[in-house]
Amino acid sequence: MIVFMGLSIHPQITSYQPYLIMKLYQLLQAYDFDELMPVINDMFPGTSKFRPELKHAYELLLSMQPVASKKAIRYKILPGDTANHSYVGAEDTCFNATWEVCLGKDVSRERGVDLSDIELVANSLVNLCLQAKYPKVFEKDHQTLLKG
């Protein structure tokens, strides 16, 4: 406990320091698609049937030039549908940008988030495919993903 100007401050409660990983494009480059796909299928069972679409997205993302962004993709514990339910993820607004802008964002995780780096990449790839502003060349794949 720290006492500052007569106030008691508990650093573990008041200090917020996200665990910065790196830019999304750097994380994406760190893994081959063949490493990511089993993780994606573990996180989202049944997605193996979308391997071609996800691989196309991965290849497109690797070919793009990231755009610098001051915003971040922050993984944290989010409230669920009921009061006693929560889950780990990034808010949808983190992906409300073009793929190039998302690639230039910092990826971080708050305390209590136990996702590995490869799980962050896998989750981000799926979110990019479903939520971000994708290039026109991905339209057919996007529609396939939405149809499930």
How much is the pLDDT for 20?
63
Low-confidence ranges of the chain (pLDDT < 50): 1-17
Residue 27 located in a structural domain? yes
Q: Supply the range of the domain harboring residue 104.
A: 20-147
So what's the pLDDT on residue 81? 78
Q: What is the distance between the alpha carbons of residues 30 and 84, in angstroms, rounded to a whole number?
A: 36
68 in a domain, yes or no? Answer: yes
**What per-residue confidence (pLDDT) applies to 19?**
64
Q: Is residue 88 part of a domain?
A: yes
In angstroms, the CA 82 to CA 38 distance is 30
Q: How far apart are CA 37 and CA 47, in angstroms?
A: 9
Residue 132 domain-assigned (yes or no):
yes
Q: Residue 119's CB: how many other CB atoms inside 10 A?
A: 19
> Which string of DSSP letters, residue by residue, matches 43-75?
HSTTGGGGHHHHHHHHHHHHHSPP---S-EEEE
* Domain total in the chain: 1
Q: Does 94 reside within a domain?
A: yes
The answer to whether residue 5 sits within a structural domain is no
Instruction: Give the global pTM.
Output: 0.84
> Quick check: is 128 in a domain?
yes
